[in-house]
Structure 1
Amino acid sequence: MKALHIEPLALPFLALVLVLLFGAAQYANNLGFFFAFWLTALAIGGLIGLRTRLDRVQVKLVQIDSGFANTPLHIQLELSGAQGLWLDMALVSADATFSSTTRDIRQSEKNQPTQQLTLPQRPRGVHLAGNLRLSTRDHIGLLRVTRIYPLAGKHWVYPAPQGERPLPDMARPNESQGQDDFHGLRNYQAGDSPARIHWKSLAKSSPEHPVLRIKQFGSDTSAEPIPRVLDEALLLDLPLEARLSQLAAWILHCEHQQEPYALRLHSRPATQAGVGDAQRQLCLRLLAEAT
């Protein structure tokens, strides 16, 4: 979709040409006619092909940032066919409810084709990239032509990581194992239950070097805590946005400590436990999509 717009300079320029023509005709001044026709020729030369100049410009979405609310996010676009054009760029939503700050650029052979624009601040959620509005004008600045390019892409705005609630405790497997699944013995470790001490092996060990041994069962995994489950049900006394912000803060804390974790929202089953960029992105996207 293209549109032509009159620039503020157009009316003063037209008035100047008319004054020159009137003065030249009134006083038979050939120099006045010369300047009037010269300015008119410049204007016509600049307007020729103006409407079709943006037809050769192609726009490709390279990258769009996802991030936390109230933080600057950016979009990278690749422009081709814009060499030698003055371009005014702006991001506009599909329903025209927002428009980012415009940016004037001069595309030449030496310029990088990739351009970066700042996304407008949006609330938590999943948002479409919107449309790119490109404008160019004639060399004098009398008319401007504008074209809208739809961008196929979306980005996630995560809840701001805020909250003072402590992390939920790590769950541990049930230690009440039966005696029929005895697996063997291992060396004593600080924190082991005295009920698990194998006293017979202590009696058989050397008095100079006593060795404490612990009974270990086949299903006993008490030395390996279950990863933390960041459960929304623990925060039901808070409003929705406060709950999501607290969960986001817990996710960042677990990532910083490199502790495996899982996320459970009341409207979704728990995720697989893990840690790293993929786990962080998955959980934060779930928070952005939560309703």
Structure 2
Amino acid sequence: MTLILGMLLDAVLGEPRWLWSRLPHPAILMGQLVGWFDRHYNSGQHRRLSGVLAMLVLCALAGASGWVLHMLPGQIVDIVILAILLAQKSLVQHVQAVSDALRLSLGDGRRAVAMIVGRDTRDQDAPAVARAAIESAAENMSDGVIAPIFWFAVAGLPGLLIYKITNTADSMIGYKTPRHKAFGWAAARLDDLLNLIPARLTALLIWLVTNRPDARAIIAEAPLHRSPNAGWPEAAMAHGLNVALSGPRCYAGQIMDYPFVNDEGERTLEPDHIDQAVQVLWRTWALALLGFGAIALL
């Protein structure tokens, strides 16, 4: 019941501005903690070892914090923290904002999608803006919704907080840049491990709530993605909507010639396609609510 109530609370309230304009969001605090370790220990000749030790400490702190919070009387703390650390409504709002902005103008669409993707958006055409929004919807459905739900179901608040600190660390230091290639190695590998099951579960849920495309195509194309996990929900979304995702894009001024996922799908994407992706997000969430809820009740 805790899981169900937490999911419902997030879906209804999302990220209330009146609250987080007055208090620091837990994700911000996690980011500050990761940043502190990065500033103080990402140096010297043993950066990979330092990164491993940093992740061990961060996970221990997160797990211990979750255990202490779970020991508080009643279930309200678990419900509230789960709702805070889920991102269903905020994800939907950010993706829908791209669709709404793109209907106003290409410039508005570019500015809206820049809020949710890391690629260069300044020179994107309208189909590229829509494609980026749909890819973000698929990937973040796994990272921001299904994975937190999964780890809460498996290990309660300790599991949820360990997952979130790892995911936060990966988003900050898990890049193969000169500064973070060694120090962020442990964060990136642990994030890959913790998302192994949720990413594939997300793909299954998306497959079930769309037109059930050929699963063999999803299984064949998902491993071709540059990420060992993000390719699964992305491939499921691409085939579920019959659109081509991924493909060439620009990062820091450098063109990356990635192959298309569902190469034969529609490439001239429009705001309507983003709207369809938003509908898939809600249907996927609803199926997850039923599935995890049934397991929790049993």
Q: TM-score, with normalisation over the residues of structure 2?
A: 0.19
The structure number with the bigger radius of gyration is 1
Q: TM-score, with normalisation over the residues of structure 1?
A: 0.20
Identify, as 1 or 2, the structure richer in helix. Answer: 2
